[in-house]
Amino acid sequence: MMLPSSWSRSVLLACACCLRALASVVPIAASPAVWAGTGDPPPHARQPEIMAPAPERSGVDASPRGILFRVVAPAAEEMAVIAGSDVLQSSSTPAPSYLFGTIHFGSDEELGLSQESLAAALSPATSLVNETDPVPVSDALLDRYRWLPPERPLSALISIDSFTMARSLLPQIPAPTLERMKPWMVLALLEARGEQVGEQTLDVRLQRLAEARGLRVVHLETPEDQLRALDCVPTEAQALVLDERLKAPWIVREMSERALKHYRERNLGAWLADVDRMVGLGAQGKAIEMRARRCLIEERNARWLPALLELLEGGGCYLAVGAIHLVGEHGLLVALARAGYRIEAQEL
C-alpha cells in the first residue's frame, strides 16, 4: 500500500514489505500491549472523522467488497458466452486466477482468517505471484534506504518530545537502533502496533504453503524496488509526518484498529477512505502523503500491470499483494476490469 494518513500506511498496513526490511537487520519483539494507555488522547481530543468512499466515476466498481477475487481472462469469458455457461473449461481456455489482498499484522481472529481457509483458497492455483520474496533481506547495499547516517540521528530530525514518545511506544527497540531508523521505518512499526514480524505474516505463510505444494513462485519486484518506493520521499519530509503523528499517537492506534475491522469485514473501500482522510496531518503533511501515494501505490501498480496481464493470460495464478493495491481508481481490480477481465468476489 497511497493517499494515506501516513505514507507508509497504504502499503505498510497492507503488506509486510517494510517490516520485513526492518526485521532483516533488527529483531523485533511483539509488544502490542504497549499501546494500552500509552499516548492516549487528552479528554478534549476528537476522534478521527472518517469519510465515506468517494462516488465511483469510471463505470467500474473501484472498491467491491471482499479480499479474495476470482479473475477470469477475456478469452475464457468469450468461450463461456459462446457455450452458454460460465464454467466452461477446455484445453484452449485458461483456468481462472485469484487475487488476494494481504495485511501484515493482526491475529487470524482479528482478520477473520485461518490457516485452513488460506490453504483452501490457494488449492486451485498452479503458481503464486507476490510482491517480493518475504524472506528478510540483509544486503548491506540496501541499508541506504533504511538507516540514517550516524551523524544525523532521528532525534535531530524530530522534536525531543516526539522522540521521547517514540521511545515510550516502541520500548522493544534499543535507543541506538531507534536513532538510526529512517522515519518511515518508525511509522511502519507504530502502525503495526509494534507487532513481531516472522513466519506468521500472511505473505510468508502463503509462500510457505505454495512451496510445500510445489507451486511456481513469481515475484513482481526486487527488495530494492520496494525499499526505493518506501524511501522515495526525502528524509526531512518523512520526519515532518512522523513528528505530527507522534504528537497525537492515538490517531495512529485508532487507524490501525479500524484497518483490522475493515479487513475483517472485507470492506477495503472503507479502509481506503480512512487512509485518504489523512486525519491529524496539516496541509504540508498531506502534500507529502500524496507524493508518497504515487510512489507506493500508483507507480508500482502501473509497473506491475504488464507482467500481471501476461501471467493472468495463462490462468491458474494466485496473486497476493497488499490489500490497498486492489481498490480505488488506480487499483488493480479496476485495471484488470478495464483490460477485459471478469472480477468476482469470493468468500474467504
In this predicted structure, the answer to whether residue 303 has a pLDDT above a threshold of 90 is yes
The answer to whether 321 and 42 are in contact (CB under 8 A) is: no
Q: How confident is the model at residue 36 (pLDDT cuts 50, 70, 90)?
A: very low
Predicted confidence at residue 59, as pLDDT, reads 56
If one compares 230 and 89, the residue with the highest pLDDT of the two is 230
How far is it, in rounded angstroms, from Cα 315 to Cα 71?
A: 9
Predicted confidence at residue 319, as pLDDT, reads 96
Predicted confidence at residue 92, as pLDDT, reads 59
Predicted confidence at residue 52, as pLDDT, reads 41
Mean pLDDT of the chain: 81
Predicted confidence at residue 157, as pLDDT, reads 97
How far is it, in rounded angstroms, from Cα 40 to Cα 301?
A: 36
Angle, to 10 degrees, between the axis of helix 160-169 and the axis of helix 235-247? 70
pLDDT above 90 coverage of the chain, percent: 56
Kindly report which listed range (138-147, 174-183, 196-205) carries the lowest average pLDDT score.
196-205
- Listed in sequence order, the residues at least 6 apart from 7 whose beta carbon sits closer than 8 Å to its beta carbon are 184, 187, 233, 238, 241, 288, 289, 291, 292, 293, 295, 296
Query: Strands 216-219 and 317-322: what pairing?
Result: unpaired
pLDDT in tens, 195-204: 655 557 888 8
In this predicted structure, the answer to whether residue 153 has a pLDDT above a threshold of 80 is yes
How far is it, in rounded angstroms, from Cα 44 to Cα 59?
A: 43
The answer to whether 282 and 237 are in contact (CB under 8 A) is: no
Q: What global pTM score does this model have?
A: 0.82
Predicted confidence at residue 170, as pLDDT, reads 93
Kindly report which listed range (1-5, 7-11, 101-105, 136-140) carries the lowest average pLDDT score.
1-5
pLDDT in tens, 63-82: 889 999 999 988 655 544 44
